[in-house]
Amino acid sequence: MKNKGLKKLDLKSYDDLFGAGEPAAGEAVISVPVHILHPFKDHPFRVVDDEKMQETVESVKRYGILVPGIVRPHPENGYEMISGHRRWRACELAGLEEMPVIVRNLNDDEATIIMVDANIQREDILISEKARAYKMKYEAMRHQGSKGEKYTADAIGEAAGDSGRTVQRYIRLAELVQELLDFVDENKIPMGVGEKLSYLKREEQNWLVEAIQNSEMFPSKGQAEQLKEGSDTGELTPAQVYAILVKRERANVNVTISARKIRSYFPAAYSKEQVEEVIYTLLDQWKENKEREEGADAGSSF
């Protein structure tokens, strides 16, 4: 496919483009209009217009694109970006009309592996980005005939500096619905808890999201295990999800209230026994009202 506006770059500019090294044998760097580029399908990494992007834009304005992107022909028109999404965005923000790229004819699995490897070691990636990227590369390698689950995870981890077990944990996290993944990114749900929650069915995960939003509570490791057990047995219901989430362990809960503070609420003539009777009566009433409210919320929320 030929596109208007394509032009071969001068060979003497290779050092400026690459910094060091050269394209693979038979490859050429061409300049393509930025408007005919397309993002990689299901690209898992963010491209954010933040302070770092502005620094990249300033560099592009001053020096141009030093490292060309890697693209492949798009099935409809133009090219699909494989590696270089942030540079592409910087070109747009800098007002450049063209971007230097290397065009490769890659199938989906080959393109996915290159895309992941080009981004996975960035320092600022989110847990959710890494989870999706590892899952995409894992599936691509399996399509290519990788030897087995552990071998594939170990190979992915070796390339990225993680253990195979860590890769498997990230891949599990990719099974979470977006809202739960966001909580993991925000450190409101630890990775270990998120891994256990990933075994819940999507409908069950959505029940949990709603329960979290209603209660403003997040599951502990023990609660995540209870939810997983309920899912495994097929006995989990929306009401049970809510009940597990709001349950509080009462053991080891010690509350100390100043006797002087308590006395300030009672007439001086009240005996110790009378004060205790009033306190326990009020607490019983509060407990009954709270349980009634929680039962009503559980029934109406789901």
User: What CATH number did the domain enclosing 41 receive?
Assistant: 3.90.1530.10
Same domain for 167 and 206? no
**Is the sign of the CA dihedral 47, 49, 50, 52 positive or negative?**
positive
Q: What is the pLDDT of residue 292?
A: 74
- Within a domain: 129: yes
Give the residue-averaged pLDDT of 65-72: 95
Same domain for 21 and 98? yes
Instruction: State the pLDDT confidence band at 26, using cuts at 50, 70 and 90.
Output: low
Instruction: State the pLDDT confidence band at 12, using cuts at 50, 70 and 90.
Output: very low
- Within a domain: 280: yes
Same domain for 100 and 113? no
Measured between alpha carbons, how far is residue 121 from residues 18, 102, 144, 157, 169 in Å? 19, 22, 23, 11, 17
Measured between alpha carbons, how far is residue 291 from residues 241, 285, 294, 295 in Å? 16, 10, 5, 6
Q: What is the pLDDT of residue 295?
A: 62
Same domain for 112 and 198? no
Give the residue-averaged pLDDT of 4-14: 38
Distance in Å from the first CA to the final CA of the chain: 54
Same domain for 115 and 101? no
Same domain for 18 and 79? yes
The model's pLDDT over 154-187, given as tens digits with 9 standing for 90+, comes to 999 988 888 999 999 999 999 999 999 999 999 9
Range picked from 197-201, 270-274, 275-279 for highest mean pLDDT: 197-201
Same domain for 119 and 88? no
CB atoms within 10 A of CB 229: 14
- The encoded tokens of residue 274 equal 């009378």
Cβ atoms of 156 and 134 closer than 8 Å: yes
Lowest mean pLDDT among 164-168, 208-212, 253-257: 253-257
Q: Which domain holds residue 44?
A: 7-105
Q: With pLDDT > 90 as the criterion, what percentage of the chain qualifies?
A: 63
Instruction: State the pLDDT confidence band at 264, using cuts at 50, 70 and 90.
Output: confident
Q: Can you name the residues that pair with 79 across neighbouring β-strands?
A: 37, 73
Question: 149-160 and 127-143 are packed helices; what angle lies between their axes, rounded to 10 degrees?
Answer: 130
- Within a domain: 180: no
Instruction: State the pLDDT confidence band at 236, using cuts at 50, 70 and 90.
Output: very high
Q: Would you say how long the chain is, in residues?
A: 302
Q: Which residues contact 44 (CB under 8 A, 6 or more apart)?
A: 116, 129, 132, 133, 136
Instruction: State the pLDDT confidence band at 25, using cuts at 50, 70 and 90.
Output: low
Helices (H), strands (E): how many in the chain? 14, 6
Report the DSSP pairing between strands 7-8 and 29-33.
Answer: antiparallel
- Within a domain: 221: yes
Indicate whether 46 pLDDT > 50.
yes
Cβ atoms of 86 and 47 closer than 8 Å: yes
Q: What is the pLDDT of residue 297?
A: 56
Domain count, the chain: 4
Give the residue-averaged pLDDT of 272-294: 79
Give the residue-averaged pLDDT of 22-34: 79
- Within a domain: 25: yes
Cβ atoms of 215 and 183 closer than 8 Å: no
- If we measure between CA atoms, which residue out of 40, 30, 44, 47 comes closest to residue 93? 47
The model's pLDDT over 110-127, given as tens digits with 9 standing for 90+, comes to 999 999 999 988 878 999
